[in-house]
């Protein structure tokens, strides 16, 4: 029986990281492992956690300020000190703010008996594309692989690893499906194009709305549902008003998402960047035909024209064209949905959980 602590920023918003932490924590708790969540904010969790999971609040400074660094070193020291007598303890960390404090404390010889795991919620190319390309954070790659016992990525999409990456510490565990694949019949589905997730500019909702202007003018009886909340929601609602769109519906964020996928025939994720979006897996599992931009996650999960459609980022003309093609071609739409439904079976959580055995002590 393993002892696992997830150290994260918060568990109160509908983010991909919160969802993934929730799924793995619940899975381990049901397997009778001892599981705790330590976060800066634990009031009113967005997703339901198993009753056997202990939720603890611990104050860290998540602001991007220099003054927060010494504060976080002290807080990290006090936290790890309180856990130093635990045996076979695994701490899974998914926030970059902890990299420098843990590196410093380990260099000073503290807490060598704790199995520290860094959970990077993206592909392995992020070390080069995200960290190494940004002067202010590139040092974190070296620190990460020196200070942590293991580093988890969602998938391997790197062709030229930076020398700072220690390959022997690198492990790959994909995000799992949060629910069993649906038995929904195609005859049950409605003429709905669905977008679900945070309603922000980086999610490409403006591109989708401008594309929908063309779709709405050339099709009938189809509507666009945008499910979720975010800082730019009012801005997008204004776009809908300015374009005089009649078949767009904004729906409040909810943790009960399966029914939305089951009713929709097409799912669109127009993001500017994505690691490994849960929404693609979820929509495939509910027999939606998926259109995604060519993000890292989109390219990983979709084989173009076989398990979905890939479009270039920010290209409203191509997105509109592909949407119209799928709306008008029922046979092609269902063929892609069936292929993706078969593909997503490999992402069931029981299959992916086997990969944790090599990581946990």
Q: What would the DSSP string read from start to end of 205-233? A: HHHHHHHHHHHHHH-SS-EEEEE---TTH
Q: Reply yes or no on domain 186-346 having CATH 3.90.79.10.
A: no
What's the confidence (pLDDT) of residue 181? Answer: 96
Quick one: which of 349, 299, 36, 357 has its CA closest to 179? 349
> And the tokens for 329?
């071609």
Quick one: which of 280, 158, 271 has its CA closest to 207? 271
pLDDT in tens, 264-275: 999 999 999 998
Report DSSP state, residue 356.
Answer: G
The boundaries of every CATH 3.40.50.2000 domain in the chain are 3-176+349-358, 186-346
Q: Is there a contact between 191 and 221 (Cβ–Cβ < 8 Å)?
A: yes
The torsion angles phi and psi of 182, rounded to 5 degrees, stand at -80, 150
DSSP H stretches of helix in the chain: 16-30, 68-83, 99-107, 126, 139-147, 205-218, 233-242, 258-263, 278-285, 296-301, 316-328, 330-343, 349-353
What's the confidence (pLDDT) of residue 96? Answer: 86
Tell me the C-alpha distance between 32 and 109, whole Å: 32
Q: Is 163 helix (H, G, I), strand (E, B) or coil?
A: coil
What's the confidence (pLDDT) of residue 85? Answer: 81
Tell me the C-alpha distance between 354 and 68, whole Å: 37
| Residue matched to tokens 């709905």 | 192
Q: Is there a contact between 307 and 345 (Cβ–Cβ < 8 Å)?
A: no
Q: List CB contacts of 220: < 8 A, sequence separation 6 or more.
A: none
What's the confidence (pLDDT) of residue 336? Answer: 98
Q: Is there a contact between 274 and 298 (Cβ–Cβ < 8 Å)?
A: yes
Mean pLDDT of the chain: 94
What angle (nearest 5°) sits at the alpha carbon of residue 61, between those of residues 72 and 29?
85
Report DSSP state, residue 175.
Answer: P
Tell me the C-alpha distance between 141 and 145, whole Å: 6
Tally of helices (H runs) and strands (E runs) in the chain: 13, 13
Residues lower than pLDDT 70 in the chain: 63-68
Q: Is there a contact between 151 and 111 (Cβ–Cβ < 8 Å)?
A: no
R_g (Cα) of the chain, nearest Å = 21
**Single pTM value for the model:** 0.88
SS3 content of the chain, % helix, strand, coil (to 5): 40, 20, 40
- Provide the β-strand partners of residue 76: none
How many Cα atoms occupy the beta-carbon half-sphere of 163 within 13 Å?
0
The CATH number of 3-176+349-358 is 3.40.50.2000
Quick one: which of 333, 223, 351 has its CA closest to 287? 333
pLDDT in tens, 37-72: 999 999 999 999 999 999 999 988 776 555 567 888
Q: Is there a contact between 141 and 165 (Cβ–Cβ < 8 Å)?
A: yes
């Amino acid at each position: 029986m393993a002892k696992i602590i997830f150290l994260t920023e918060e568990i109160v918003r509908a983010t991909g990281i919160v969802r993934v932490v929730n799924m793995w924590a619940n899975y381990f708790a049901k397997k009778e492992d001892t599981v705790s969540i330590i976060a800066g904010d634990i009031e009113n969790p967005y997703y339901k956690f198993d009753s056997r999971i202990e939720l603890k609040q611990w104050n860290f400074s998540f602001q991007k300020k220099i003054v927060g660094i010494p504060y976080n070193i002290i807080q990290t020291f006090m936290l790890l000190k309180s856990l130093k007598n635990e045996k076979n303890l695994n701490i899974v960390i998914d926030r970059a703010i902890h990299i420098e404090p843990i590196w410093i404390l380990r260099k000073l010889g503290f807490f060598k008996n704790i199995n520290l795991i860094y959970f990077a919620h993206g592909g392995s190319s992020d070390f080069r594309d995200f960290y190494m390309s940004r002067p202010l954070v590139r040092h974190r790659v070296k620190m990460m692989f020196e200070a942590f016992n293991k580093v988890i990525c969602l998938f391997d999409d790197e062709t030229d690893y930076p020398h700072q990456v220690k390959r022997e510490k690198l492990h790959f565990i994909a995000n799992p499906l949060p629910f069993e694949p649906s038995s929904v019949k195609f005859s049950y589905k409605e003429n709905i194009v669905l977008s679900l997730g945070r309603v922000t500019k980086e999610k490409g909702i403006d591109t989708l709305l401008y594309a929908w202007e063309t779709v709405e003018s050339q099709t009938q009886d189809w509507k666009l549902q945008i499910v979720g909340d975010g800082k730019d929601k009012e801005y997008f609602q204004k776009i809908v008003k300015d374009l005089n769109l009649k078949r767009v519906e904004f729906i409040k964020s909810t943790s009960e998402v399966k029914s939305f996928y089951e009713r929709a025939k097409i799912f669109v994720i127009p993001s500017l960047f994505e690691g490994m979006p849960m929404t693609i897996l979820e929509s495939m599992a509910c027999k939606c035909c998926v259109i995604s931009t060519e993000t890292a996650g989109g390219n990983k999960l979709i084989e173009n024209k076989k398990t979905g459609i890939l479009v270039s980022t920010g290209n409203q003309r191509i997105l509109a064209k592909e949407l119209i093609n799928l709306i008008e071609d029922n046979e092609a739409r269902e063929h892609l949905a069936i292929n993706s439904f078969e593909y997503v079976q490999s992402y069931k959580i029981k299959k992916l959980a086997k990969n944790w055995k090599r990581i946990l002590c």
